[in-house]
A and B are shown apart, each in its own frame.
Chain A
Amino acid sequence: MNSPSPTPTRSFRRKLLFLGGLLLLWPLLRFLIHKVPKKPQIIEVSGTFQNKIFLAKQDFIVFQEDEQLWAVSRNCTHLGCRLNYIEKEKYLECPCHQSRFSRQGEVIRGPAAKPLPRYLVERTDTPSTYLVTMS
């Protein structure tokens, strides 16, 4: 037995529903791809600087030079591998495609194109303890 053909009102409603669904796609997509910016994080780190120059942590490396302190991210700006500091050469190098960055975070060699994020570092009252603001 054939199912009864939809009434004009029903088929109009179906079209309306379909169009509505289509219209919703855009806000849904925008919603899904939106990245909420990370809240600035203040991290307390402690430890001694190796050769009075650098202190490597999981996500960043703190450097000190002439009483100045700063930190750079350890996430390579090419595809995110974790960078190492090569002390002898005074640069950071990526183990995945060997991009190089200066201690200030500038690109020395690609494939990475963007510099590393730099973070503010402050001394605390406790010796060998620092506050790093990751933004």
Chain B
Amino acid sequence: MIAVKRITTFLATLRWGDWSLISLYVSLISGVVVGIHYSPAEPYYSASALDILVPYGSFFRSLHFYSSQFFFLFGVAHFLAVFNKSQSYSSKAYIYLIICFPCILMLLFTGYVLRADATGYSAGMIAEHILEAIPLFGPALNNILFSISTHGMDRVYLHHVISFDLLFLFLAWDHLRRYRVMLTDHLLFISLLLLFSLLVAAPIDPDQLGLLYITGPWFFLGLQELLRYLSPFVAGVLVPASLVTALVFLRQNHRWYRALLIFLCCWLGCYLILTMLALTAHG
């Protein structure tokens, strides 16, 4: 018990927030670099050309991919580590920061889709169908956000490089203004990030007919599995929305605090099980 407590205390002292922000800087810069050779009109060709034809293209693509993933993961760790402190924030500030998470996930997701390999393409089509399933506004929303089947990657590209970034900056602006991070204080972390990207290639599916089992981006796996059993609107909209709503109301002085906490644990537990199922049950 003491050991667990010590580990948790130790984890809470780590500088997750700093690392998340540094990863964001690297992700933004490497995103611009990668964007030079990426074309939404030839998404798969340009993405794979980065790996095969462009000098150091594979490194920069990896750097963009992993820095973005670390940005999200360290962001989540940061949220957990400073959760108690976040309770002193005003409701508005807290809600803005919570909404940052789905916004970052959309940035990661559109990044996967833009690759346009079998995984990316399927994830995009599934997202399109989920949006279409929203009563009344669905088709309009899809027309604005994805509509890959009619507009190719145009919309997805636009939102990946501009809209979701602006939304994130708007939501996190106050927070980022308050906590500054100097690159010079994190040279070791940056070096590790560079080294990691040099050694580990970012995933991309080979261009072959007949990929028989597509799993999708790692954070999408549980949802992908749930879509087998439930309608797209329930699995793709209501279930994820319930998580965000529960997070939004998760304030220690809220009378449902404990109930919400239990709900969140169950939600995440079920999602983990669904993810495992997606990875093992149908391959």
A interface with B by C-beta (< 8 Å):
29, 32-33, 35, 56, 75, 78-82, 84-86, 93, 95-98, 111
Contacts and interface: CB of A to CB of B under 8 A. Distances in A.
Contacts of A78: 129, 227
B209 A95 contact: no
Contacts of A32: 139-140, 143
Interface of B: 118, 121-122, 125-126, 128-130, 136-140, 143, 149, 209-214, 216, 224, 227-229, 232, 282
B213 to A, nearest CB: 6
A95 to B, nearest CB: 4
A81 B122 contact: yes
B128 A82 contact: no
Given A35-B139, A95-B122, A98-B282, A79 B227 contact: yes
A35 B122 CA distance: 22
Most buried by A among B121, B211, B228, B282: B228
B136 A29 contact: yes
Contacts of A81: 121-122, 125-126, 214
A95 B214 contact: yes
A33 B136 contact: yes
B143 A79 contact: no
Given A29-B136, A79-B126, A80-B125, A97 B211 contact: no
24 contacts: A32-B139, A33-B139, A56-B209, A78-B129, A79-B125, A79-B126, A79-B227, A80-B122, A80-B129, A80-B149, A81-B121, A81-B125, A84-B212, A86-B212, A93-B212, A95-B213, A95-B214, A96-B122, A96-B126, A97-B227, A97-B228, A98-B213, A98-B282, A111-B227
- Which 4 A-B pairs rank lowest in CB-CB distance, beginning with the nearest? A80-B125, A32-B140, A79-B129, A95-B214
A93 B228 CA distance: 14
B128 A95 contact: no
Contacts of A95: 118, 122, 211-214
A35 B137 CA distance: 13
Contact of B211 (A56, A79, A84): A84
Given A79-B125, A96-B122, 10 more contacts: A29-B140, A56-B209, A78-B227, A81-B126, A93-B212, A95-B118, A95-B212, A97-B228, A111-B228, A111-B229
A41 to B, nearest CB: 13
A111 B126 CA distance: 13
Nearest to A81: B122
B106 to A, nearest CB: 18
Contacts of A75: 125, 149
A76 to B, nearest CB: 8
A86 B130 CA distance: 27
Nearest to B147: A35
Nearest to A93: B212
Contacts of B212: 84, 86, 93, 95
Contact of A79 (B139, B213, B232): B232
B16 to A, nearest CB: 34
B140 A80 contact: no
Given A96-B126, A96-B214, A82 B121 contact: yes
A87 to B, nearest CB: 9
Contacts of A84: 209-212
